[in-house]
Structure 1
């Protein structure tokens, strides 16, 4: 072992792993861990984020002997136990299905380590793919990178156009490996509302916030991660950014911040780095071509001219003009780029003479003359003066666009200048040539964008001409029309393209909404835009923002629009969002009911079905079984009218789910099979048509009903398909629902490995997207998993917490599963009275609401609790177990009949009533499908063998 390795220590969570000492410590205390387990831990922790094949681990740790894979599993289990892996959200070692193990905790070196390697997370760092022209900034990038490593929080300070973003992106790429790729750009350019700052930063991290305190929620979500956040363009929302940045710095240990701003944030932890202009040739220096080309400002200038006009060979005659121009522009990168655009169009000498004729620009070459930010404005004034009348009009009128826009968008917003649109298109071409607009090619279509400083300047010109409100209103109308025109087309696109398109439009949508709902806005445009943009926010999981716009829109609808399609769409979006942000309270039902009333009055059957699907989901989760059954029947009647396969599949999925909750498993299977046949005739599920993904719902229904029927092999097949379909949907909520309802199947089969993997995935995904109900379900499922490990105290803690959270959110679908297992855990630790009260209350609730699905399990658990108390309760326990068997028979729940019959047989065997026990158990086994092997089946056969031995002994 090398000297460096002897002293190497790794830190993750509260643990310290000394490689040289071969010791694992927690809070300074050494933990007992065997040599083989230590070898495995060191090998995994030293390569975080990598998937290490099981055979590679075996070859590494047992190089001298031959062992089975089971030995590896045993030692990994020991490591997990020592680390408390999987408890209370802590995750260190993941089993990657079919591949091996991976250390997924965040690792940092201690004691002079030279390398920091960070585990990979679901959302990888996202820096723009665009190339960065880095000229004259190499030293700056290196020094800022060092400062960032040492101080954690650096603000790049300078005027607009100085190149702060370019430097920040270059620094991000320079340090990306040290953060395991976890480097994120939060582009704040388009924000005008400070309340959206935390949400925008979260979106850049691939997270969606739902809390009323978004800053605190964001910190909770990233606290355990090591990553770099680039906060770009802070000055216009500086107070909100400053508050968030200070929270991130103070309340985390591994979050690094790199901000770009025109003024300091002035908060704790901030270290300033002033970005200076590019070096340019002094007026007393040598002015030959070779001499001036040594300066970065000239290099940038020449490159930009070449990009516009083709190859450029700077001559000694031209060099003084270029040097003077760069001096007059004070080495400002954006100003130089603008000037280079004019040179490409007008020629060097003509542009230089024009520049010289502007004395205010010449004064700015002296650094003490005026504030540096005036340089860019003066340059933009100069560029604006060179425009034609048509170019000036179009330039200022496209200012409301934030981000990219099309020629058609520019034509709509800029208005008619002549007889046709050709004049506007020519003006756009001229603005591109003069570098006032940047372009990109997107799916074969040219798209345009004003850079932020240029857009701010154009907005000023728009206000000078008293056109700001008129053009902003025109822009808002255009955005609304564009979104309305996409309603039919967007759902047919692949999800990745759909999301990219919506993301690209988001900044302009926000700008249009903020103006429309603002002091000088227009209620008619505002409500129209809110309805048109609702699907965008839902698709991008921006739930809090969607809720805010919907609530504002409802307050602005007015009498004329109260019963309009617009109102229907706004109420529909609000109800869908509220289910995730506020839980299933009465506001959700009220919003759904209002939208449904409007749809019915309008005679819009398709939208009525969409709303019914959302209302069904609400009833399903809140255990309103009668309501869910009525909605399913009503949906089928409507689907029969539309004769649409999508609608029929949707109705069948509702009928299947309601029958499943009633315990009608055979009927539920029939509806699932019918729904799947309908769905096969549809080329693709159309997102937005209904409020839940019925194909995954049908597959879940099949998997769960087959489990209850005892057809375990088929149940597992459908479980796999359901998870694949849920993941393929691309919607986090859909995949979370699939995981939440499928994991119980694997737990029933006592498949702890796959259960562990899927519970961790559900926990991570629900946390990343702020899907609070699914996070609570993940907690409950982890409690069930711990119960299988006989970790009773932790299981009790998590199950109690899950039940409390689900009750508060009125998410009752899986509560009975958790109640049964909580009772089982309480019984095992001697809490019989508490366990019995829990089950009796649950039985009462289930009978009252008509949810009969869990009756076999609840009566079985009641019997087990009574049987475990004392012999004098055996008679009552026997009655409860017989009731469980009876309920299971009525539901064709063969698996649960076998569970209860096995428990009853063991109880009767204790009383030496062998023949009775044999009769009940034999009958239950005979009703089980043939060829099925499961833990419950094996247990039943073991008890049967004991009974047969007892029968012979009696004989």
Structure 2
């Protein structure tokens, strides 16, 4: 691994300026001022006496800038030397230390001032600290380097609270950094206590009766009383001092009693405790220690971005202390961020993982963390016993649990992410055990900082941190309960998802997506177990059916298809035509048409699902499947099929009498009329559908396979566009996009963007068009929505044509058409065909352009697809007109056909486009009166409204024709 923390700040340990120190440690080095020796890993390094003297002098004054002259006076007291001598010896020191070679910095040159020792120092065990140094460290505080990363503000807040309220408990799980924060707080408030601060590590105190005696010993008293607490309180009652009681949880009652005595019976004694659970006594104020912030999974994952987070900063610095500082690359940054996420930002876990990176490298450590057992074994040789491994840290907490808490603790390990009290009861309970007992156990685990809570939701939720869950899973295996608990977990989740669908029916799409997103990790874990070798086939089928809605709502279509196909492979016998089979079979074609191809497999799969719905007599599901079949027909421009499905759906909706069902049917009828080019009928059906939506008692989540509310708004957008009402069309386009965004479904938003973008292109709104095309492209790639990725390319080609960038546009249009043809997605391919043809003609490729257009017209006429006929005949006319004067009669005929088609369809916008082109052609032939007549009549039929490029061009040409006609007259 190649990691470097940018601009690291040295954290020197304060030491006396005037007395020798004995043995010091920094990085892998040991420096002895008594022996005048420098060692690395126990091996003495060759360093000249003068250089060694300089190093000792600087190391005994860490962080202080020593002037060059002061160094000269100390090292050469009776000799006159040049400053260059200092530089030579400092260079020798740096070489011996490898200073800067691997990123480690020990000696800093402060320009214009001198040199400073900037490494992190620690006294070696057994060394005697000088009186002055002890004074600077505060009495009773351990002499150890403290690295505060991301905790500075918290330390200040705790110090302020401690000074104000006298009694504070730092609460948090093992390894969260409570001890380091307590020491830092002690140093921050030292002056307020005249350096009367005493740190008492209670880890080794196993008998609760010895708590007060341990405190007394730390304060320098040897008490003989059998109950030393009151005696000690009397001795220190009049003093002002701070007592830090570290690691209280295993003797919690004794500590609570003693701390309460100190609070109640003294006025100047302040108490700071660290514990995995609260003491729950008078005067106690809780400051919960949270994990270090780490990069979220959806955030930017570059080196600079992830290094903004304290968890990554700690990881990087710890690796640097072991292996030398190097550069964190952008390629490695996501892996480091992922490690910090998996470790939940817990400092101890991060430090242990960093040690493995220094020894084994990044890739090997990432692989190591995949194994939860190996994760628990990561070790730190020099840590206190309870922190040498994650397992030791968690053993410490586990041993303090009651029997009921231990049972619940290991069984809730089945949950990945958050769970509720009801979920815990379902999975961890036993027959005859009251729900209250489970709830009490969960509360106990919360109090002991083993599980975290989230209360910013309607129902409180709980979570085991990843490292803690790994430990709990190991305990679950020890008790041979894995199959039982994971079976319960899968059964609970299947039932929960079934109930959740109905509960979410009245919520907006975004809230529904958020609710399903919370379930995703648990769904995946339950499916893995259910379909695994120890899973249950009945549960797997039920869960697969219930989870389809999760994957579909989150647009995880490939994953949905994979689980659904796995479930279908196992269906047979009584399940072949069950409700579960209905749910599963309908999800497969929906995923296929969005991610692979809208081919015959899709139609067959929908037909099979429809057969099951009919067999079950389930009208609601029949409508659901029909909506999927309609989408297939719509995408393939199967007008007859789409119309038949729409008519059948309206009959079903009339039977149910449900306004949502009627709105769905109207949306289908509107879309089938649009495909036929009946724009007035399209608008009428859309308006009817929107009236049904306004009439329903309350909004509900749409249970169909496409979002018909946004579909109705898209239908209004396009019918108004074709009719030339661009102002109203723009309003509906914006509403359609907002409605699609509210759905929370990327496929719905992609469809809406794809179908409303022609409005903004017609307005030549380059900025808004570019923004929406970019949004469509990003969404389609992020969610593997292949048709929309192709459509985004085609729309970008049209956007480029507006700027006369024909060569680039042609490449994108061709790519879009090839991909859409391969995917059997024909909805917008004629739009792209028209633009490709005219772009080729503009570049002189007339034959290719004409062949493309003529073939398209023939294809559309054979299939009865009339929507694009005005545009195709217009393109043919433009190509012929630009090819040669001999083709002008053919061009005129084609443009007249375009006008005729547009009139029949009420496609006033396309009529005006063709009439303008025809007027231009006739003008070239000096047939101004005819040109004026055609264009004037078309403009008269154009509805009043906002100005846009087509109208502006027509008005300008009509003015020229009018002027020319008058001159001729």
- TM range, smaller chain: 0.5 to 0.7
Contact 2:505–2:702 at 8 Å: present in 1 too? Answer: yes
- Who is 1:889 aligned against? 903
Change (3 A) 1:480 1:462: same
- Find the partner of 2:297 among 182, 193, 204: 204
- Find the partner of 1:139 among 129, 141, 147: 147
CA distance in 2, matches of 1:756, 1:651: 33
- Who is 1:845 aligned against? 859
Q: How far is 1:620 from its partner? A: 1.2
- Map Cα deviations across residues 230-251 of structure 1 (whole Å, 9 max, x no partner): 9999xxxxxxxxxxxxxx9989
Contact 2:762–2:948 at 8 Å: present in 1 too? Answer: no
CA distance in 2, matches of 1:454, 1:793: 59
- Asked if 1:928 is matched to 2:942, the reply is yes
Q: How far is 1:481 from its partner? A: 1.0
- Who is 2:834 aligned against? 820
| Aligned partner of residue 453 in structure 2, secondary structure | strand
Q: How far is 1:840 from its partner? A: 1.3
Structure 1, unpaired ranges of 5+? 1-135, 144-159, 168-200, 207-220, 234-247, 275-332, 336-363
Q: How far is 1:889 from its partner? A: 1.5
- Who is 1:904 aligned against? 918
- Asked if 1:654 is matched to 2:668, the reply is yes
- Map Cα deviations across residues 733-770 of structure 1 (whole Å, 9 max, x no partner): 22222221111112123233332332233333333444
Q: How far is 1:472 from its partner? A: 1.3
- Who is 2:877 aligned against? 863
| Aligned partner of residue 692 in structure 1, secondary structure | coil
- Asked if 1:718 is matched to 2:811, the reply is no
Q: How far is 1:911 from its partner? A: 2.2
- Who is 2:764 aligned against? 750
Q: How far is 1:830 from its partner? A: 0.5
Contact 1:535–1:688 at 8 Å: present in 2 too? Answer: no
Contact 2:380–2:388 at 8 Å: present in 1 too? Answer: no
Change (3 A) 1:760 1:680: same
Q: How far is 1:272 from its partner? A: 11
CA distance in 2, matches of 1:443, 1:397: 24
- Asked if 1:399 is matched to 2:407, the reply is no
- Map Cα deviations across residues 823-870 of structure 1 (whole Å, 9 max, x no partner): 111111101011111111211222233221110010011011011111
| Aligned partner of residue 521 in structure 1, secondary structure | coil
- Who is 1:767 aligned against? 781
* Structure 1 residues 153-164: aligned runs within 5 Å: 162=175
- Find the partner of 1:879 among 893, 901, 911: 893
Contact 2:895–2:917 at 8 Å: present in 1 too? Answer: yes
Contact 1:710–1:893 at 8 Å: present in 2 too? Answer: yes
| Aligned partner of residue 747 in structure 1, secondary structure | helix
Q: How far is 1:652 from its partner? A: 0.6
Change (3 A) 1:413 1:889: same
- Asked if 1:639 is matched to 2:653, the reply is yes
Cα RMSD (Å): 3.9
Change (3 A) 1:715 1:268: farther
Q: How far is 1:525 from its partner? A: 0.6
| Aligned partner of residue 439 in structure 1, secondary structure | strand
Contact 1:412–1:478 at 8 Å: present in 2 too? Answer: yes
| Aligned partner of residue 573 in structure 2, secondary structure | coil
Contact 2:497–2:546 at 8 Å: present in 1 too? Answer: yes
* Structure 1 residues 241-640: aligned runs within 5 Å: 257-258=336-337, 259-260=339-340, 264=356, 270=362, 375-378=389-392, 380-381=394-395, 383-416=397-430, 418=432, 420-443=434-457, 445-640=459-654
Contact 2:794–2:815 at 8 Å: present in 1 too? Answer: yes
- Map Cα deviations across residues 75-94 of structure 1 (whole Å, 9 max, x no partner): xxxxxxxxxxxxxxxxxxxx
| Aligned partner of residue 461 in structure 2, secondary structure | strand
| Aligned partner of residue 398 in structure 1, secondary structure | helix
Contact 1:592–1:614 at 8 Å: present in 2 too? Answer: yes
Contact 1:578–1:588 at 8 Å: present in 2 too? Answer: yes
CA distance in 2, matches of 1:436, 1:226: 30
Change (3 A) 1:603 1:431: same
| Aligned partner of residue 502 in structure 2, secondary structure | coil
CA distance in 1, matches of 2:328, 2:472: 36
Structure 2, unpaired ranges of 5+? 1-143, 152-172, 181-293, 313-326, 341-349, 367-374
Contact 1:563–1:598 at 8 Å: present in 2 too? Answer: yes
* Structure 1 residues 2-151: aligned runs within 5 Å: 139=147, 141=149
Change (3 A) 1:273 1:554: closer
| Aligned partner of residue 740 in structure 1, secondary structure | helix
Q: TM-score, normalised by structure 2?
A: 0.62
CA distance in 1, matches of 2:330, 2:825: 32
Q: How far is 1:542 from its partner? A: 2.5
Q: How far is 1:893 from its partner? A: 1.2
| Aligned partner of residue 560 in structure 1, secondary structure | helix
Contact 1:696–1:725 at 8 Å: present in 2 too? Answer: yes
- Map Cα deviations across residues 545-595 of structure 1 (whole Å, 9 max, x no partner): 222211211112232211111011112222222222213233322322221
Contact 2:508–2:743 at 8 Å: present in 1 too? Answer: no
| Aligned partner of residue 737 in structure 2, secondary structure | helix
CA distance in 2, matches of 1:586, 1:609: 20
Change (3 A) 1:387 1:717: closer
- Map Cα deviations across residues 854-890 of structure 1 (whole Å, 9 max, x no partner): 1001001101101111111112112111111111111
Q: How far is 1:717 from its partner? A: 2.5
Contact 1:843–1:858 at 8 Å: present in 2 too? Answer: yes
CA distance in 2, matches of 1:630, 1:873: 42
- Map Cα deviations across residues 191-244 of structure 1 (whole Å, 9 max, x no partner): xxxxxxxxxx999328xxxxxxxxxxxxxx9899966699999xxxxxxxxxxx
Contact 2:510–2:742 at 8 Å: present in 1 too? Answer: no
Contact 1:523–1:557 at 8 Å: present in 2 too? Answer: no
Contact 1:863–1:878 at 8 Å: present in 2 too? Answer: yes
Change (3 A) 1:759 1:872: same
Change (3 A) 1:266 1:529: farther
CA distance in 2, matches of 1:484, 1:923: 60
Q: How far is 1:639 from its partner? A: 0.8
